[in-house]
Amino acid sequence: MSETPTRRRGIPGGAASVADKRFRRPDVRPAKRRRFNQRLWRLLGLGVILAVLVTGGVLASSRVVDARLMAVDRVVVQGNQRVSVQEIFTLIGDVRGQSLLLVDLEQVRARLLDSQWVASVAVRRVLPSTIDVRIVEREPVAIARLGQQLYLVDGTGVIIDDYGPQYADFDLPIADGMAVVLDTGGSGIDPARAQLVARFLSALAARPELRRSISQIDVSVGGNVAVLLNDDPTRLYLGDEQFVDRLRTYLEIRQTLMERMDDIESVDLRYGANVIARNRNDRTQRQ
């Protein structure tokens, strides 16, 4: 006699069901987790705010300290000879007391270049509170004659200043023929002719006795240096090269020329061995 399976109450169909522990749902309390997350975010927010406040305070205090320690209290100037320190400070303006980090060095440099004596300038910060200024001044090479006025000029044709008694210590020749008519109608210095004068004088630098003998230079004819020597009215044409050799040639033959000619006006030394001497009465002799 077969037995009828006993049905367990509460289970549909009477099927046996045993809960597997592996599939038990965890005991989750969503409300408590949300409250915990909210507290955590509040704490993090407070931490960030405190960090910002602390950092801001530290930065503010450090800026006050930096402003005191890095205020400019010294300007060191080097390389100036003709430009006075007082003029330099006038050009720079009052930078003392300003923050070293905030001083506009490019503006300082531009102001110094307003002086015609200043060829170039370097400006730098030296911690904690010094501005270092290094100046390269222009070097006059000649006294240029423009009309009735004399000017100091450098080898690039820049007019540095009017020539006057304050520059009597410069032993410079007078240079004619450097002037050109500008588009504005006025006159200025031709850079090419100024460079020719500078090149001529540079070539004589190794022969100081020749350099000291030059009284006057004329570059009115392009590419041709004409000179007068001290105590010698003869005009010498030297061209644009071999200046030293051509001057030496003249000095070697000068006595012979003076014996053969009455009143020498000019000697052209541009053609090697063919030296052309011209008398004031227009008689020509070749040496």
Q: Are 211 and 200 in contact, with CB atoms under 8 Å apart?
A: no
81-113: pLDDT as tens digits:
999 999 999 999 989 999 999 999 999 999 999
CATH class of 140-286: alpha beta
pLDDT at 47 over 90: no
* pLDDT at residue 52 greater than cutoff 70: no
Find out whether the peptide bond into 208 is cis, omega within 30 degrees of 0.
no
Binned at pLDDT 50, 70 and 90, residue 222 comes out as confident
Whole-number Å distance between alpha carbons of 143 and 160: 10
pLDDT tens digits, residue range 173-213?
A: 999 999 888 777 777 899 999 999 999 999 999 999 999 99
Residue pLDDT, tens place only, 131-159: 999 999 999 999 999 988 999 999 999 99
Mean model confidence pLDDT for the chain: 83
| 153 DSSP β-pair partners | 142, 159
pLDDT given at position 76: 96
Q: What is the pLDDT of residue 110?
A: 97
Residues 6+ apart with CB under 8 A from 266: 234, 235, 236, 237, 277, 278
**pLDDT band with cut points at 50, 70 and 90 for residue 51:** low
pLDDT at 64: 46
Give CA–CA dist 151/203, Å, rounded. 22
How much is the pLDDT for 70? 85
In 3D space, the residue among 133, 139, 104 whose CA is nearest the CA of residue 119 turns out to be: 139
CATH 1.20.120.1150 fits 74-137, yes or no: no
What is the C-alpha to C-alpha distance for residues 202 and 287, in angstroms, rounded to an integer? 28
**What is the predicted pLDDT for the residue at 49?**
73
User: Which residues contact residue 174 at a Cβ distance below 8 angstroms, ignoring those fewer than 6 apart?
Assistant: 142, 143, 144, 145, 150, 215, 216, 217
**pLDDT of amino acid 108:** 96
Q: What is the pLDDT of residue 20?
A: 52
Q: In this predicted model, what pLDDT tens digit does every residue of 227-279 receive, in sequence order?
A: 999 999 999 999 999 999 999 999 999 999 999 988 899 999 999 989 999 99
Residues 6+ apart with CB under 8 A from 168: none
- Residue 184, Cβ neighbours under 10 Å: how many? 7
Whether pLDDT at 5 is above 60: no
C-alpha neighbours within 13 Å on the C-beta side of residue 184: 3
Element (H, E) at 284: strand 284-286
